[in-house]
Amino acid sequence: MSETVKRAPVASDVPVLWDSGALCLDLRGIDTPPKPLVAIVELIERADTGDSVRVLIARDPINLYPELLERGWSWSKEFAEDGSLRLTLTRDVPEPPESGR
CATH number listed for the domain at residues 3-91: 3.30.110.40
Q: Residue 94: its pLDDT value, please?
A: 78
pLDDT in tens, 58-87: 999 999 999 999 999 999 999 999 999 999
Domains of the chain, residue spans: 3-91
Q: Residue 1: its pLDDT value, please?
A: 47
Q: Which residues of the chain have pLDDT under 50?
A: 1
Q: Residue 7: its pLDDT value, please?
A: 66
89 contacts 55 by C-beta, under 8 angstroms: yes
Secondary structure class of 14 (helix, strand, coil):
strand
